[in-house]
A and B are shown apart, each in its own frame.
Chain A
Amino acid sequence: MNERIEEILYKVEKPSRYIGGEINSYEKEINENTIRYGFAFPDIYEVGMSHLGMHIIYNLLNELDNVYCERIFAPWVDMENVLRKEDISLFTIETHSPINELDIIGFTLQYELSYSNILNILNLGKIPLRSSERDETHPIIIAGGPCAYNPEPLADIVDFFVLGESEEVLIEVLDAYRKIKEKGLNKKRLLEEVCKIEGVYVPSLYEVQYNEDGTIKSFIPKKEDYPIKIKKRIIKDLNNVFYPEKVIVPFADIVHNRAMIEIFRGCTRGCRFCQAGMIYRPVRERKSEKALELADKLLRNTGYEEISISSLSTSDYSQLNELVRGLIDKYLNKKIGVSVPSLRLDSFSLKLIEEIQKVRKTGLTFAPEAGTQRLRDAINKGVEEKDLIDAVTNAFGLGWNTVKLYFMLGLPTETYADIDGIADLGKKVVDIYYNIPREKRSKGLKVTISTSSFVPKPFTPFQWEPQDRINTLVEKQNYLKSKLKHKNITYNYHDSKTSFLEAVFARGDRKLGDVLIRAFEKGCKFDGWQEQFLYDKWMESFEECKINPNFYANRQRGYDEILPWDHIDVGVSKKYLMKENEKAKNEELTKDCRLGCKGCGINNGFIGGVC
């Protein structure tokens, strides 16, 4: 290990975050033909290593000859202080190289509140923040992941974005990079070349003009041959796509410390607040046979004591029974835990969960999202009160005593009657428990009600809707708090200031780049970490850049407005989103599209899923 790096590891907490050398991590020879790629997760090791996408890309790229993918994470605050004090560049986990020695650094954008960490990482790596300040001597900075569907707030920072599932497109990008590098790397030529690859968006090749009111007047390619619309990429067949079989086993106790098998992508439920439900369409399943085979290889290669399946709405998986049966039969006697998250809690699921959890009954989680049927219909959450009541009755009867309920505050059309509904549901759950004969229930009921604040997201039917103002959200939280004073009920809520910032960046445009840089200069980082979040510094930054954050978070947009992400094509049409938004106002449900096509548009040119 590099001596200077070794010295600083004595000075930080949890040094195992930084040492590398984990089982299944790659050690590769670096020569002049090697493209050095850095997969950067703009949060700490424990968070980044829990992310399945990172493992997929890491293993995919490292199986290629002449490409070496190393990992980069945001150093925790103590490490950052040491790096700055001793003037040491942020380094990769694999070889402890300064990150500016890499050819390409790819950031994954999982949540808006990690943007300031991107700037911090670049700065700690002595890399200029703006794309325009970097040339061939600096790494090419790219980004992908769900937040890349509205890339505009990072348009000044990132050289180009990769939209959609990147297993194929990333390899095309690396091929293009290699070709250009052989002729002598020229950043401008590279950008012009990669913009021809489907799924690649190069923001500097486009000109944005604004109206006097701050909305977008026009968004035009600077040359005719640049694509007008940039279409996301998808993998057509999950049974044949690359899947990492030898995933890194971290030393540190990370957030999701277990083997993961992805069983499908996409979701057909169509909840109107949910971005994942729209941007990951169409649904594509991996056969259970294939999933079981992967599980076996993963467990053999990692030695993990737990396996989890990963997807959006797990209960929708067509071979769920076969798969979970298979996992239980094979692994429970080997003392390998099986976890099946995101289940709809019908009686079938409860039986499954009971079998998996055997004696120890951990908490059950329900997400009705809204307190009344009216609002649940408006957001198209296809759950009825009866579903919750039945599930909870069953669960208490089977010996559960801990229940978590998730809701959102500030959903479009919400009134105080809907908030009363949340409190009523909580109390009903308590009543159900006490109505079960004492000898049939487990002692010590604990009901936890959590509310998050609704953040309108691009490419959802609510993309035009305003977010509630911070003080409105606080009033609603306080109101609910006063209604939930009960010995068995705990009420948790998210800080509405962070939700506000999230809303600004979720639907932001290019003008936010300056604010982001200003906030970084004022020390903003780890905005998603409550104790690190500096709300006042952010507000100062908006003010100094003469940007009104309410314009982004709290403004009602019209259907005719050009939205900052309109040049991105996720497959779901704007027309469909408008129709869904209108249906929300009329509290009309849209059924699961497995039961019949709803014309969202994904089957026009994105063939491969259920459609």
Chain B
Amino acid sequence: MERLVYIAVDGVIFASWLFLVSLGLTFIYGVLRVLNVAHGSLYALGAYMGSSLVLLFLRAGYPTALSYLVLLGAALLIGLTVGPFLERVFLRRIYLKEEVLVLLLTFAISLMLEDVIKLVWGVEPYLVNAPYLALGQVKVAGVAYAVYPFLLTGIAVAAGTLVWATMARTRFGRLVVSVIEDREISAASGVNVPLVFTFAFTLGAILAALGGAFTAPMISVVPGVAVEVIVLAFAVAAIGGLGSIEGAAIGALLVGLLRAAAVHLAPELDLLAIYAVMALVLLVRPYGLFGRAEVRRI
């Protein structure tokens, strides 16, 4: 019985992390129809920037309680600088080109950013886990859990709600939805489509960096975190349907719970769980759970 509790708790913790890291990817695809392979690098930039800033912050003697704001600041810093730069300088030139070209370009950007990270932060591992340790532990069904992952759950829910609310309740959100539906008619109706794209990509970049910044206190930040994350983020986004936020949430929950179940019940199948789910879902629903087939406009 307790085992079910553990599977549920571990599943939700992992699901929230998966949702946070795949939210930006699926959002950018939904709006710009760009499969952003550099999403992992934006996540890594968030992780490195978050670690460095918290380190400087704590060394300067400020209280750990405020370090969470520093992590948020790091995510905003990365998202608001790197996001618009990448969109304006690189992506803007290839929107109307074939998708494979876009994929290649974002892949090239991810490789470049990997080296930029090494140039700026070096190769030494960053383990800045004061924010993680500061929240202590809580007992659930007799087992101690760190409190920090539950904070991540809260952040994931908040980020998802914020994005959904932005799309559903704000003027900007309406503009974005109209651009998603039909780029040309929106432009013809006077919507500043390039500006919408820049905003959307920037928001996606902030979300990616947010995932990285808030994961950093839980891990050893080393070169290569980008690659691990991008594979998982793609799998979750594909399961949910690229472009769908609800899909990403359901996909993350599905994968999170299944992986937790695998670890607790059949550890040998741990690796298999994620990709088996993806294969099964795509067999039955090729566009993902909430994705829909695109009608090609001639």
Q: A and B from one assembly?
A: no
